[in-house]
Amino acid sequence: DTGVSQNPRHKITKRGQNVTFRCDPISEHNRLYWYRQTLGQGPEFLTYFQNEAQLEKSRLLSDRFSAERPKGSFSTLEIQRTEQGDSAMYLCASSFPIGQAYSYEQYFGPGTRLTVT
Amino acid sequence: DAKTTQPNSMESNEEEPVHLPCNHSTISGTDYIHWYRQLPSQGPEYVIHGLTSNVNNRMASLAIAEDRKSSTLILHRATLRDAAVYYCILRNYGQNFVFGPGTRLSVLP
């Protein structure tokens, strides 16, 4: 399967714990995006990378959130000191860079569902 | 970010056409109209996009009003697999996607 993969698919954690999610994009894609989705809402943009450079961060990405893409391939999203409000689906997507063919299309992974108790 | 307005939900019968409307009265001249859909327990997937002219692909058709203030996603023959949340998104070149709550489409057998 050459699609976007995310691990784990589900994570249950206690408030105050740290969690880390991983995203493996489609190998030819240079851009990688993180979104958060709560029940009944559309995905909300968090941040994106062009290769290993993090080019934009949403105001939603508080200091407790950090994302990395160290070698321009897979990415991790870490949430420190989790709060109940962090409970959501965390989606990763990848695409070709702007200006390249098909750059308008983002390919999404299945998401990681986080539950903070 | 330009805004879109979609009905919260719609119903269709299987094998009938479905017209999903989207209003975007504040669209700018360089905003593309994108449609994504999200099947249950999956991430969103690309459906179609366009700028001014109507567009067709294997999944759907996109009809864009002449003044570009509204558009309609057309599924020619709905199947049960088309039950999903459909998002209409305006996106200027290089900008990020801003998803609204979308339209939840139910397909009745």
**Per-residue pLDDT tens digits for A36-90:** 999 999 999 999 999 999 999 998 888 999 999 998 899 999 999 999 999 999 9
The reported pLDDT for the residue numbered B1 is 58
**Residues A64, A70, A73, CA angle at the centre, nearest 5°?**
115
List Cβ neighbours of A56 (8 Å cut-off, separation of 6 or more). A47, A48, B96
* Partners of B61 in beta bridges: B56, B74
CA A59 to chain B, closest CA, distance in angstroms equals 14
Of A32, A103, A105, whose CA–CA distance to A73 is shortest?
A: A32
* Amino acid letter, A79: I
Q: Answer whether B99 sits within 8 Å of A107, measured CB to CB.
A: no
In the stretch 35-74 of chain A, residues with CB closer than 8 A to chain B read 35, 40-45, 48, 56
- CB distance from B59 to chain A under 8 Å? no
Taking 70 as the pLDDT cut, the residues of chain B under it are: 1-2
What percentage of chain B has pLDDT greater than the value 90?
A: 86
